[in-house]
Structure 1
């Protein structure tokens, strides 16, 4: 069965699933709701938890609202664990503590910068 024919899967969700290689009900079953959701997140899309519940509902053959609360909590915990293991986004450095250098004059709390070592940073 095509992804677009599954209950709870609208056009946008189906497009996301296709873009991560999940094109049929069999593909979705093999991946499972949590893995499918994480593939979509890793692809750079920003799905809400409703998509996670919709995927589970599609696999169970029920409306997403009918997915039991215990199962929802279990899936959310799995998503949080998987998300914590993701590498930082490409092109952006990993978050690190922010430090500043304080001014040398008393009462001067603005950060100071030394541009003398940078190319074009001084005139001779």
Structure 2
């Protein structure tokens, strides 16, 4: 996969999540990598308050090429705290 692959190519993302990221100005995986999962989640959450923490898990795991269900509770807790700051 190339750096400029469309955001929808990220593992774990459904079409709705991909559109939310596009609405937030994140259109490629490279852009997501530059901003990071937490910042991207915050940007989406500002525009789409119904976005759940599952999106954060999906972004963080997708950037590592993993299924979101593989994240440990410790990782989820760290991400949750970062997103709330």
Same fold by TM-score, threshold 0.5 exceeded? yes
Aligned length: 81
| 2:12 aligned partner | 8
Q: Deviations over 1:37-93 (max 9, x none)?
A: 000111243211111100011101000000122111101011122xxxxxxxxxxxx
- Give the structure with higher Rg (CA): 1
> Is 2:56 aligned against 1:78?
no
Greater fraction of residues in helix? 2
Residue aligned with 2:17, SS: helix
Moved over 3 A (4+): none
Q: Distance in 2 between matches of 1:6 and 1:44?
A: 20
> Is 2:73 aligned against 1:69?
yes
Stretches of structure 1 that go unaligned for 5 or more consecutive residues are 82-124
Taking CA–CA contacts closer than 8 Å with sequence separation of 6 or more, which of the two structures ends up with the larger relative contact order? Answer: 2
Q: Normalising by structure 2, what TM-score? A: 0.89
Q: Normalising by structure 1, what TM-score? A: 0.62
Q: Distance in 2 between matches of 1:33 and 1:48?
A: 13
